[in-house]
Amino acid sequence: MKYKGIICAMITPFDENQNINPQATCELIDYLIDKGVYGLFILGTNGECHVLTDDEKVEFAKIVINHTNNRVPVFVGTGGNSTREVITLSKRMEEIGASALSIITPYFVTPTQQELILHYKSIADSVNLPIMMYNMPGKTGINIEPDSVRELSKIKNIVGIKDSSGRLDNMKAYIEATEGEDFSVFSGSDSLILDSLKAGGKGAVAATANFLTEIDIAIYENFMNGDLEKAQEAQNSIEELRRILKLGTIPSVIKKTVVLNGINVGTARLPVTEPTGESLEEIKQVVENYREMLNKHS
Protein backbone atom coordinates (compact mmCIF):
# COMPACT_ATOMS: atom_id res chain seq x y z
CA MET A 1 0.00 0.00 0.00
CA LYS A 2 1.22 3.51 -0.83
CA TYR A 3 0.93 5.80 2.18
CA LYS A 4 0.18 9.44 1.48
CA GLY A 5 -2.01 12.40 2.40
CA ILE A 6 -3.15 13.67 5.77
CA ILE A 7 -2.97 11.06 8.50
CA CYS A 8 -4.48 12.20 11.80
CA ALA A 9 -2.24 11.89 14.88
CA MET A 10 -5.30 10.84 16.85
CA ILE A 11 -5.84 11.63 20.50
CA THR A 12 -6.92 8.90 22.93
CA PRO A 13 -10.40 9.59 24.35
CA PHE A 14 -10.82 9.04 28.09
CA ASP A 15 -13.89 8.97 30.33
CA GLU A 16 -14.30 10.95 33.56
CA ASN A 17 -12.13 8.37 35.40
CA GLN A 18 -9.36 8.76 32.81
CA ASN A 19 -9.98 5.27 31.41
CA ILE A 20 -10.24 4.59 27.66
CA ASN A 21 -13.64 5.67 26.34
CA PRO A 22 -14.72 3.30 23.52
CA GLN A 23 -17.83 5.28 22.55
CA ALA A 24 -16.00 8.60 22.14
CA THR A 25 -13.23 6.77 20.29
CA CYS A 26 -15.69 5.39 17.72
CA GLU A 27 -17.35 8.82 17.37
CA LEU A 28 -13.99 10.47 16.71
CA ILE A 29 -12.97 7.79 14.18
CA ASP A 30 -16.22 8.26 12.23
CA TYR A 31 -15.85 12.04 12.33
CA LEU A 32 -12.27 11.91 11.00
CA ILE A 33 -13.01 9.35 8.29
CA ASP A 34 -16.16 11.24 7.19
CA LYS A 35 -14.03 14.38 6.84
CA GLY A 36 -11.63 12.49 4.58
CA VAL A 37 -8.47 11.61 6.51
CA TYR A 38 -6.12 9.26 4.68
CA GLY A 39 -5.20 7.29 7.80
CA LEU A 40 -5.19 7.20 11.60
CA PHE A 41 -1.98 7.34 13.61
CA ILE A 42 -2.68 6.18 17.16
CA LEU A 43 -0.63 5.94 20.36
CA GLY A 44 1.76 8.72 19.42
CA THR A 45 2.67 11.80 21.47
CA ASN A 46 -0.81 13.31 21.19
CA GLY A 47 -2.24 9.83 21.78
CA GLU A 48 -0.58 9.84 25.23
CA CYS A 49 1.39 6.65 24.57
CA HIS A 50 3.70 7.63 27.44
CA VAL A 51 0.94 7.25 30.08
CA LEU A 52 -0.71 4.04 28.84
CA THR A 53 0.27 0.49 29.79
CA ASP A 54 0.97 -2.02 27.02
CA ASP A 55 -2.32 -3.78 27.81
CA GLU A 56 -4.21 -0.49 27.49
CA LYS A 57 -2.44 0.20 24.20
CA VAL A 58 -3.60 -3.15 22.84
CA GLU A 59 -7.14 -2.56 24.16
CA PHE A 60 -7.29 0.86 22.50
CA ALA A 61 -5.76 -0.38 19.23
CA LYS A 62 -8.36 -3.19 19.08
CA ILE A 63 -11.20 -0.65 19.37
CA VAL A 64 -9.70 1.55 16.65
CA ILE A 65 -8.82 -1.27 14.26
CA ASN A 66 -12.22 -2.97 14.61
CA HIS A 67 -14.24 0.22 14.25
CA THR A 68 -12.14 1.58 11.38
CA ASN A 69 -12.78 -1.75 9.64
CA ASN A 70 -10.21 -1.17 6.86
CA ARG A 71 -11.75 2.14 5.79
CA VAL A 72 -8.33 3.77 6.19
CA PRO A 73 -4.94 2.42 7.35
CA VAL A 74 -4.27 2.43 11.12
CA PHE A 75 -0.68 3.16 12.16
CA VAL A 76 -0.11 1.93 15.72
CA GLY A 77 2.62 3.38 17.95
CA THR A 78 4.73 0.68 19.60
CA GLY A 79 7.99 2.56 20.22
CA GLY A 80 9.98 2.36 23.44
CA ASN A 81 13.47 2.17 24.90
CA SER A 82 13.92 -1.59 24.87
CA THR A 83 14.17 -3.31 21.47
CA ARG A 84 12.86 -6.50 23.05
CA GLU A 85 9.77 -4.78 24.50
CA VAL A 86 9.06 -2.97 21.22
CA ILE A 87 9.17 -6.30 19.38
CA THR A 88 6.81 -7.92 21.92
CA LEU A 89 4.26 -5.09 21.66
CA SER A 90 4.63 -4.91 17.86
CA LYS A 91 3.82 -8.62 17.56
CA ARG A 92 0.70 -8.12 19.68
CA MET A 93 -0.42 -5.29 17.40
CA GLU A 94 0.25 -7.43 14.33
CA GLU A 95 -1.98 -10.18 15.78
CA ILE A 96 -4.94 -7.81 16.24
CA GLY A 97 -4.79 -6.45 12.70
CA ALA A 98 -2.80 -3.19 12.72
CA SER A 99 -2.17 -1.89 9.18
CA ALA A 100 1.29 -0.58 10.06
CA LEU A 101 3.48 0.32 13.04
CA SER A 102 4.84 3.69 14.05
CA ILE A 103 8.06 3.41 16.02
CA ILE A 104 9.66 6.39 17.73
CA THR A 105 13.37 6.28 18.52
CA PRO A 106 14.42 5.23 22.00
CA TYR A 107 14.57 8.18 24.42
CA PHE A 108 16.07 9.02 27.81
CA VAL A 109 19.39 7.48 26.70
CA THR A 110 20.77 8.49 23.31
CA PRO A 111 21.86 5.51 21.21
CA THR A 112 24.50 5.90 18.51
CA GLN A 113 23.32 5.88 14.89
CA GLN A 114 24.59 2.28 14.55
CA GLU A 115 22.58 1.28 17.61
CA LEU A 116 19.51 2.99 16.14
CA ILE A 117 19.95 1.10 12.87
CA LEU A 118 20.26 -2.17 14.80
CA HIS A 119 17.11 -1.29 16.82
CA TYR A 120 14.99 -0.73 13.71
CA LYS A 121 16.47 -3.67 11.78
CA SER A 122 15.78 -6.04 14.69
CA ILE A 123 12.15 -4.89 14.89
CA ALA A 124 11.66 -5.06 11.11
CA ASP A 125 13.03 -8.63 11.11
CA SER A 126 10.57 -9.68 13.83
CA VAL A 127 7.29 -8.53 12.25
CA ASN A 128 5.74 -8.55 8.79
CA LEU A 129 3.97 -5.21 9.14
CA PRO A 130 5.08 -2.02 7.39
CA ILE A 131 7.00 0.28 9.76
CA MET A 132 6.99 4.06 9.83
CA MET A 133 9.91 5.42 11.83
CA TYR A 134 9.20 8.43 14.02
CA ASN A 135 11.82 11.14 14.52
CA MET A 136 11.23 13.66 17.32
CA PRO A 137 14.62 14.94 18.53
CA GLY A 138 13.14 17.74 20.65
CA LYS A 139 11.55 15.15 22.95
CA THR A 140 13.84 12.12 22.52
CA GLY A 141 17.23 13.85 22.43
CA ILE A 142 18.27 12.03 19.24
CA ASN A 143 17.91 12.72 15.51
CA ILE A 144 17.83 9.85 13.03
CA GLU A 145 20.50 11.04 10.61
CA PRO A 146 19.82 11.00 6.84
CA ASP A 147 22.51 8.34 6.27
CA SER A 148 20.77 6.06 8.78
CA VAL A 149 17.44 6.66 7.05
CA ARG A 150 19.10 5.85 3.69
CA GLU A 151 20.28 2.50 5.04
CA LEU A 152 16.99 1.66 6.78
CA SER A 153 14.87 2.61 3.75
CA LYS A 154 16.37 -0.36 1.89
CA ILE A 155 14.64 -2.75 4.31
CA LYS A 156 11.47 -3.99 2.65
CA ASN A 157 9.01 -3.33 5.49
CA ILE A 158 10.47 0.02 6.63
CA VAL A 159 8.24 2.16 4.44
CA GLY A 160 8.49 5.71 5.76
CA ILE A 161 9.35 8.23 8.44
CA LYS A 162 7.40 10.85 10.33
CA ASP A 163 9.75 13.75 10.95
CA SER A 164 8.80 15.99 13.87
CA SER A 165 12.17 17.75 14.02
CA GLY A 166 10.51 20.97 12.85
CA ARG A 167 13.41 21.38 10.39
CA LEU A 168 12.62 21.48 6.70
CA ASP A 169 16.29 20.87 5.84
CA ASN A 170 16.15 17.60 7.80
CA MET A 171 13.04 16.49 5.91
CA LYS A 172 14.63 17.44 2.58
CA ALA A 173 17.73 15.41 3.49
CA TYR A 174 15.50 12.37 4.17
CA ILE A 175 13.72 12.84 0.84
CA GLU A 176 17.05 13.05 -1.02
CA ALA A 177 18.57 10.12 0.91
CA THR A 178 15.68 7.79 0.02
CA GLU A 179 15.27 8.76 -3.63
CA GLY A 180 14.57 5.66 -5.70
CA GLU A 181 13.33 3.67 -2.70
CA ASP A 182 9.68 2.80 -2.03
CA PHE A 183 9.71 5.13 0.98
CA SER A 184 7.54 8.04 2.17
CA VAL A 185 8.62 11.06 4.17
CA PHE A 186 5.83 12.64 6.23
CA SER A 187 5.90 15.96 8.03
CA GLY A 188 5.20 15.62 11.74
CA SER A 189 5.31 19.41 12.08
CA ASP A 190 1.96 20.87 11.08
CA SER A 191 3.54 24.23 10.20
CA LEU A 192 5.58 22.52 7.46
CA ILE A 193 2.90 20.47 5.68
CA LEU A 194 2.96 22.50 2.46
CA ASP A 195 6.72 23.08 2.48
CA SER A 196 7.35 19.36 2.87
CA LEU A 197 4.98 18.55 -0.01
CA LYS A 198 6.81 21.05 -2.22
CA ALA A 199 10.08 19.31 -1.31
CA GLY A 200 8.74 15.91 -2.33
CA GLY A 201 7.18 14.68 0.93
CA LYS A 202 4.12 12.45 0.72
CA GLY A 203 1.91 14.12 3.33
CA ALA A 204 1.68 14.76 7.05
CA VAL A 205 0.88 13.06 10.32
CA ALA A 206 -1.01 15.97 11.84
CA ALA A 207 -2.34 16.50 15.35
CA THR A 208 -4.26 19.60 14.25
CA ALA A 209 -6.34 17.23 12.08
CA ASN A 210 -8.23 16.09 15.21
CA PHE A 211 -10.07 19.43 14.99
CA LEU A 212 -9.16 21.18 11.71
CA THR A 213 -9.50 18.01 9.67
CA GLU A 214 -10.83 19.57 6.47
CA ILE A 215 -8.33 22.45 6.55
CA ASP A 216 -5.35 20.09 6.81
CA ILE A 217 -6.80 17.95 4.02
CA ALA A 218 -7.29 21.11 1.92
CA ILE A 219 -3.55 21.84 2.17
CA TYR A 220 -2.75 18.43 0.68
CA GLU A 221 -5.52 18.23 -1.90
CA ASN A 222 -5.08 21.78 -3.21
CA PHE A 223 -1.36 21.11 -3.55
CA MET A 224 -2.01 17.86 -5.44
CA ASN A 225 -4.45 19.71 -7.72
CA GLY A 226 -1.85 22.38 -8.46
CA ASP A 227 -3.64 25.20 -6.63
CA LEU A 228 -0.73 26.49 -4.57
CA GLU A 229 -2.55 29.68 -3.59
CA LYS A 230 -5.41 27.79 -1.94
CA ALA A 231 -2.97 25.32 -0.38
CA GLN A 232 -1.01 28.23 1.15
CA GLU A 233 -4.22 29.84 2.38
CA ALA A 234 -5.19 26.60 4.16
CA GLN A 235 -1.67 26.25 5.59
CA ASN A 236 -1.76 29.80 6.95
CA SER A 237 -5.17 29.29 8.49
CA ILE A 238 -4.03 26.57 10.93
CA GLU A 239 -1.54 28.94 12.58
CA GLU A 240 -4.09 30.30 15.07
CA LEU A 241 -4.73 26.77 16.35
CA ARG A 242 -0.99 26.08 16.53
CA ARG A 243 -0.59 29.27 18.57
CA ILE A 244 -3.11 28.24 21.23
CA LEU A 245 -1.69 24.71 21.51
CA LYS A 246 1.06 26.36 23.55
CA LEU A 247 -1.49 27.35 26.24
CA GLY A 248 -1.31 23.91 27.84
CA THR A 249 0.77 20.74 28.12
CA ILE A 250 0.39 18.26 25.22
CA PRO A 251 -2.32 17.14 24.49
CA SER A 252 -4.59 19.14 26.82
CA VAL A 253 -5.43 21.93 24.36
CA ILE A 254 -6.11 19.77 21.30
CA LYS A 255 -8.36 17.55 23.45
CA LYS A 256 -10.26 20.62 24.64
CA THR A 257 -10.80 21.81 21.04
CA VAL A 258 -12.29 18.41 20.15
CA VAL A 259 -14.58 18.52 23.21
CA LEU A 260 -15.70 22.03 22.25
CA ASN A 261 -16.29 20.75 18.72
CA GLY A 262 -18.81 18.23 20.04
CA ILE A 263 -16.99 14.96 20.78
CA ASN A 264 -16.44 14.30 24.48
CA VAL A 265 -12.91 12.90 24.41
CA GLY A 266 -12.26 13.92 28.02
CA THR A 267 -9.10 15.38 29.47
CA ALA A 268 -5.48 14.32 29.28
CA ARG A 269 -4.18 11.89 31.90
CA LEU A 270 -2.53 13.21 35.02
CA PRO A 271 -0.13 14.82 35.64
CA VAL A 272 -1.38 16.86 32.66
CA THR A 273 -4.39 18.99 33.64
CA GLU A 274 -6.92 20.77 31.47
CA PRO A 275 -6.70 24.46 30.58
CA THR A 276 -8.55 26.89 32.87
CA GLY A 277 -9.10 30.62 33.34
CA GLU A 278 -7.89 32.99 30.62
CA SER A 279 -6.31 30.17 28.62
CA LEU A 280 -9.61 28.32 28.46
CA GLU A 281 -11.49 31.47 27.40
CA GLU A 282 -8.95 32.06 24.63
CA ILE A 283 -9.29 28.45 23.42
CA LYS A 284 -13.10 28.75 23.38
CA GLN A 285 -12.89 31.94 21.33
CA VAL A 286 -10.50 30.44 18.79
CA VAL A 287 -12.67 27.30 18.41
CA GLU A 288 -15.74 29.50 17.89
CA ASN A 289 -13.92 31.55 15.24
CA TYR A 290 -12.87 28.40 13.38
CA ARG A 291 -16.37 26.95 13.51
CA GLU A 292 -17.79 30.16 12.02
CA MET A 293 -15.15 30.12 9.30
CA LEU A 294 -15.77 26.46 8.43
CA ASN A 295 -19.56 26.98 8.37
CA LYS A 296 -19.11 29.79 5.84
CA HIS A 297 -17.06 27.53 3.58
CA SER A 298 -19.32 24.49 3.86
Known catalytic residues are 134, 162
| Residues 204/176, Cβ–Cβ less than 8 Å | no
Q: Which has the closest alpha carbon to 212: 173, 269, 260?
A: 260
| Residues 103/79, Cβ–Cβ less than 8 Å | yes
Q: Is 191 exposed, middle or buried (0-12, 13-18, 19+ CB in 10 A)?
A: middle
Q: Distance between CA 7 and CA 287 in Å, rounded?
A: 21
CA distance from start to end of the chain: 31
| Residues 52/77, Cβ–Cβ less than 8 Å | no
| Residues 214/36, Cβ–Cβ less than 8 Å | yes
Distance of CA 203 to the CA centre of its chain: 11
